[in-house]
Amino acid sequence: MPTQQPPARRERKKAETRRAIADAALRLFTLRGFDAVTVNEVAEAADVSAKTVFNHFPVKEQLFFEHEPLLAGDPAEIMRPRTPGGRAPVALGRLLRAVPVGDLALFGRIYRGSETLRAYGRELFAARERALAEVLAEETSGLRPRILAASALGPLRLVWESILLEAAERVPPGEAVARGARALEEAYAVLGGAFEGFLHPQAPAPHHAPPIPGEQPRAHRGERPSIRRVADLAGVSATTVSHTLNGRRPVAEETRRRVLRAIEELGYRPNVLARGLRTSRSQTIGLIIPDITNPFYPALARGLQDVLGPAGYDQIISNTDGVRRTEQAAIEHMIARQVDGLAFAVFHTHAEDLLPAIEAGIPVVRLGGRLVQRGVDLVHSDDEGGAAEATRYLLGCGYRRIAFVCGPAAEGPAAEREAGYRAALTDAGVAPDQALVAHTHFSRAGGAKGVARLLELAEPPDAVLCANDVMAIGALDVAAQRGLRVPEDLAVMGFDDIDAAGMVSPGLTTMANPAREIGQATAVRLLERLRGTVDEPSTELVVPARLVRRRSA
């Protein structure tokens, strides 16, 4: 009988395997970019099986973040150790490493080139925020722990990402980290009293980063003047300086004059992050989507960024899997993160679910559906008209038993598309058959499952219209498995015209739903709301869909 390895040796072997896999992945990401590399290729490069890769890294993005160079620990774990009645022993600012681990510039370039990685990075911070909120809730209750956690980690995430992007632009790593460390220190100082009760008032400030090479020393130790330097010179607390700047709490006139004199003497200028905190603008827009793996939604997010980026805004993306309870939680999360505006690409959110965001004064744009609600703008494709045109096209090709494959409950855009499908059949004198409508999941597997069920009917369809292209690709999978010729035995048609629609065989006939244009229009409307240039309580913009003919129908 073979002897088992000692536990310590097994653990050491696992650690070595994990590191070998992560290193192999990073080499591939460096050469080709994150999105172009598959897990199978990583497994081959590391000389292990794909199963072994997934055993160590259940999510592909973890292969990349294994090399994360800046974060020094988990906020919740740092906050958890407390003496009875005590406060946090370590300032959160120390979560940012003074000296990065690994190649910061390389990490930044790969990160910058992948929206998938940027979205995953935000999700990592969201998970840390939830964990921190749970720790804080052990001492307080209600909404406050969530707000405090968002206030603590929001600046950290912004600074973390800004350092990566600066390093990717060939800014020397030491200089990028130095700037980020000072921005973080100043941001936490501006938040001031918000941290009372969970940041020790005497805790050491975040590390003082080395001065930027070539920068003129305008304060002691070569540092650019910070809000703490202003406070020291004026003989007040950093919180008092913050109140003087933002005007939210009264400050004695003599104290105010001392603070202003110190500001003038030091040449203090608030950084962008601190200014955003003082003005209650986070410079972020929330985007809530049902499925980030559907290529339609990254294209939509890219359209948003086309407009928001030049305007100085970033995105926080939340994936909900089309579950209403998850959508509701995502709305609460965005409010806690203090986003400036909110875009929804969701299927199950009801009017009452949006009220918290509306009451918080957050501009809201809903993507899809026809829900008319005060305080909510609509930007969407012509879902009903596009589905009707698709159905008319199939009828014109001679098909009569046309099936429709859509989502589980046919809400939102899916309901509009089903309505267009039924209306076109009725107008052509073809009675809609409920047996030809399959409700399934908005995915490739869901499309395959729905079409497989339809093909088992006593009178199977001769054509299938799917509510999106990913489902239609699943339909092509089933047709190939059953030896059916497309379109001779079964015509297949999709909706959206994602890039993959022209790459599959046969090429997918579909309705072009311009995701990027929809994202751009959404961003424009949100910026108009933020700038106060729209007076109507609710607006609607419909982007037409367009027929794209290929070989599948």
Which one has a higher pLDDT value, 243 or 440?
Answer: 440
Kindly indicate the confidence band of residue 215, based on its pLDDT and cuts at 50, 70 and 90: very low
pLDDT for 426: 93
Return the H-helix or E-strand segment holding 134. Answer: helix 115-137
Which one has a higher pLDDT value, 191 or 102?
Answer: 102
Q: Please state, in angstroms and rounded to a whole number, the distance separating the CA atoms of residues 173 and 170.
A: 8
Q: What is the pLDDT of residues 354-367, one digit of tens each?
A: 888 887 788 999 98
Mean pLDDT of 507-517: 90
- What is the number of residues in the chain? 553
Tell which phi-psi region holds residue 506, choosing left (phi > 0), alpha (psi between -120 and 50) or beta: beta
Q: Please state, in angstroms and rounded to a whole number, the distance separating the CA atoms of residues 377 and 126.
A: 27
pLDDT for 200: 39
Decide if pLDDT at 476 tops 90. Answer: yes
Q: Please state, in angstroms and rounded to a whole number, the distance separating the CA atoms of residues 80 and 87.
A: 9
Kindly indicate the confidence band of residue 21, based on its pLDDT and cuts at 50, 70 and 90: very high
pLDDT for 371: 66
Which one has a higher pLDDT value, 182 or 405?
Answer: 405
State phi, psi for 353 to the nearest 5 degrees.
-65, -25
Range of weakest confidence among 266-280, 284-298, 313-327, 386-400: 266-280
Decide if pLDDT at 323 tops 50. Answer: yes
Q: What is the pLDDT of residues 103-145, one digit of tens each?
A: 999 999 999 888 888 888 888 887 887 787 777 776 555 556 6
Which one has a higher pLDDT value, 188 or 125?
Answer: 125
Q: Please state, in angstroms and rounded to a whole number, the distance separating the CA atoms of residues 284 and 118.
A: 14
Question: What mean pLDDT value characterizes the chain?
Answer: 80
Decide if pLDDT at 217 tops 70. Answer: no
pTM of the model: 0.49
pLDDT for 347: 63
Which one has a higher pLDDT value, 266 or 68?
Answer: 68
pLDDT for 459: 94
Q: Please state, in angstroms and rounded to a whole number, the distance separating the CA atoms of residues 280 and 542.
A: 32
Nearest alpha carbon to residue 115 among 299, 307, 285? 299
Decide if pLDDT at 218 tops 70. Answer: no
Decide if pLDDT at 447 tops 70. Answer: yes
Mean pLDDT of 529-546: 86
Decide if pLDDT at 398 tops 90. Answer: yes
